[in-house]
Amino acid sequence: MLEHLRAHWTKVMSPPAKLLLRLHVTPDMVTWTGTIGVVIVSVLFFPQGWLWQGAILLGFLVASDSLDGIMARTSGRSSDWGAFLDSCLDRIADGAVFGGIALYYVGKDANTVWATLAIAALIFGQVTSYTKARGESLGYTVNGGLAGRADRLLVGLIGVLLTGLGVTMALPVCLVILAVAGAITVGQRMVLVHKATTARARATADEAQ
């Protein structure tokens, strides 16, 4: 949903990316620093109930998440390793965010319902990314779907922020939305790959005739 804003966001983040390059900061340094920051904030702030504070810090870190890619393209250092590292660390960061939310609800009156929803949102988010990676490894283009990574993080952090400011049902509602949207997105991508594999199989059969 937010993918169409990528070009505009790149223009906004290009000046700080160029500044970091002039300071001899590498894209990999930014990738690691951002991920470590997300993990620390998520596992320290959320379980303690410091929700709005954690949401603001994570919002800053998530907003700068594209810096490494912009730096790599600007400097001509784009590489398969950089793309691989970024994807792997994104999964760790996402796990920390929604794992931290789950821990918040486990510690808050042992509310396993909302904790389970946080885990469900995490699982569907991870599988959404996996469907893309696995589909593309088989030679198919797997894009689109109802909720991409940026959408999931935005909705989740809005829920955390509002709940931290006193709107207690904001985060549970957002978790329901994320779990449902994640399930739909996984289904959409599975259908996409199924159609692509079927079309390829038919084309191969036609060529063999």
Residues marked active site are found at 90
User: Could you please report the per-residue DSSP string of 55-123?
Assistant: HHHHHHHHHTTTHHHHHHHHHT---HHHHHHHHHHHHHHHHHHHHHHHHHHHHTTT-HHHHHHHHHHHH
CB 30 within 8 A of CB 71: yes
Cα-Cα-Cα-Cα dihedral sign, residues 129, 135, 136, 140: negative
